[in-house]
A and B are shown apart, each in its own frame.
Chain A
Amino acid sequence: MEGLLNLLTGISVVLIVLVLVSVRRMHVRVEYSMSWLAAAFALLVLSRCHVALNYIAAALRIDSPALALLTLAGCLFLLVVFRLSVVVSALKDANIALAQRVAILEYHIRSHEEHQA
């Protein structure tokens, strides 16, 4: 199980570096990096802090602390993905409304130009 914990530590470190590099290169906006960073830091801390992990495993009634962490990490990342789905949905709605408004404004401008001509 120690191997699994080490793997999760490695994944969390890679994720933190990846997110920070992406933010620096402006591939990810800061506000959307926060939930990933929070999840990755939580994973990193819990994979190294055996006392907290044992406590969580006992609370979840899971025999293996590593499996408990894996479950917790899965839940955290599901939450992050769900939050991003909400954001994407809102953006799509805004995008559709904007595209419709652009088309209507273009129509009005063309009509106005024709009227002037």
Chain B
Amino acid sequence: MIRPYGPDSLLVIVPAYNEEAAIRKVICEINAAVPGVPVLVIDDCSEDSTAYYARRAGATVLSLPHHLGLGGAVQAGYKLAWELGFDYVIRLDGDGQHDPADVPRILDALKTSGCEMVIGSRFIEGGADHTSFARALGIRFFRLVLRPILGKPVWDPTSGFVGVNRVALQVFSRTFPLEYPEIETLVVLQRKAFRFLEIPCVMRPRMAGRSSITAVKSLYYIAHVLLGVFTNVLKYDRRRRLRAWKAS
């Protein structure tokens, strides 16, 4: 059972699908990095023993009744965190790519910067990555697309190492992109006039398993995310025009 303690309560959430080989080590590393902080693993209806190993490592498991995909799993964690009253939520992946040693720095940045979201970035000074050439190319493309929309550069738009405060938590527990959430989330933030900050983080190779985004799926990924981004931009513009019309 997890519950928030203190005024700046933190919950670490780990969406996981078939991560039995890595999940135990990830949770142990989180416990070592932020002792006493509750860890919630959202088991996206894994076909292996992810939930069992997560519980054995001391995490609380939220078991989804069927496979929802990454966005649905993350949003389930956000919804529970919001209901339980947590002030900050940091999400990292269950495959061990994100180093939990960076969690305290993300939390500090959330508390001190006043930003609603903090992204662990592998591409700003001090960060490190193990990204394939194709993925790096995709990231560069989305940087170019997002630059004019966000009004500021974003170096690692596909990072899943993300911390949010309670204001963003409220929004994301209601509205959250469901299939490939990272990039669209930035546009949702922009629509709400929220701010985000990137801090350097180390991205490690996966401890086990393979990425869900294969070479064939990457084209679908690009088209899907572009459509999602522009749909959000259109919503944003419509609201702005509506507000301007009401003001006039």
A114 at the interface (CB under 8 A from B): yes
Q: Which residues of A contact B65 (CB under 8 A)?
A: 99, 102-103
B63 sits at the interface (CB 8 A): yes
Q: Write the nearest CB–CB distance from B229 to chain A, whole angstroms.
A: 18
Asked whether A100 is an interface residue with its Cβ less than 8 Å from the other chain, the reply is yes
In terms of DSSP, what is the predominant structure of the interface of chain B?
Answer: mixed
Question: Which residue of chain A has the shortest Cβ distance to B76 in the bound complex?
Answer: A100
- A104 near B1 with CB under 8 A, answer no
Shortest CB–CB separation between residue B72 and chain A, in angstroms? 5
B63 / chain A contacts, CB cutoff of 8 Å: 103, 106
Of A96, A104, A107, the residue contacting B68 (CB under 8 A) is A96
Q: Are A100 and B79 in contact (CB under 8 A)?
A: yes
Q: Is A111 an interface residue (CB 8 A)?
A: yes
Query: Which B residues touch A99, using CB under 8 A?
Result: 64-66, 68, 72, 76
**Interchain Cβ contacts within 8 Å, total number:** 35
Interface membership of chain A positions 82-117, coded 1 if the CB is closer than 8 angstroms to chain B and 0 otherwise:
000000000000001001101110110001001100
How far in angstroms is the closest Cβ of chain A from B24? 21
Task: Decide if B76 touches A115 in the complex (CB within 8 Å).
Answer: no
- B contact residues around A103 at 8 Å (CB): 42, 62-65, 76
B72 touches A100 (CB 8 A): yes
Query: Given contacts A106-B63, A107-B62, A115-B1, are A96 and B72 in contact (CB under 8 A)?
Result: yes
User: What residue of chain B has the Cβ atom nearest to residue A101's Cβ?
Assistant: B79
- Compute how far the CA of A115 lies from the CA of B83 in the bound complex, rounded to whole angstroms: 18
* Interface membership of B75, Cβ < 8 A: yes
Partner-A contacts on B (CB < 8 A): 1, 42, 60, 62-66, 68, 72, 75-76, 79-80, 83, 178
Enumerate chain A residues within 8 angstroms of B76, measured Cβ to Cβ: 99-100, 103-104
18 contacts between A and B (CB under 8 A): A96-B178, A99-B72, A99-B76, A100-B64, A100-B68, A100-B76, A100-B79, A103-B42, A103-B63, A103-B65, A104-B62, A104-B76, A104-B80, A104-B83, A107-B62, A107-B80, A111-B1, A115-B1
Question: For the side of the interface on A, what is the size category?
Answer: 10 to 19
Q: Is the CB of A100 within 8 A of B1?
A: no
Residues of A within 8 A of B60 (CB): 107
Residues of A within 8 A of B178 (CB): 96
Known: A99-B65, A100-B76. 19 other contacts (CB 8 A): A96-B68, A96-B72, A96-B75, A96-B178, A99-B64, A99-B72, A100-B64, A100-B68, A100-B75, A103-B62, A103-B63, A103-B76, A104-B76, A104-B79, A104-B80, A104-B83, A106-B63, A107-B80, A111-B1
A10 to chain B, nearest CB (A): 38
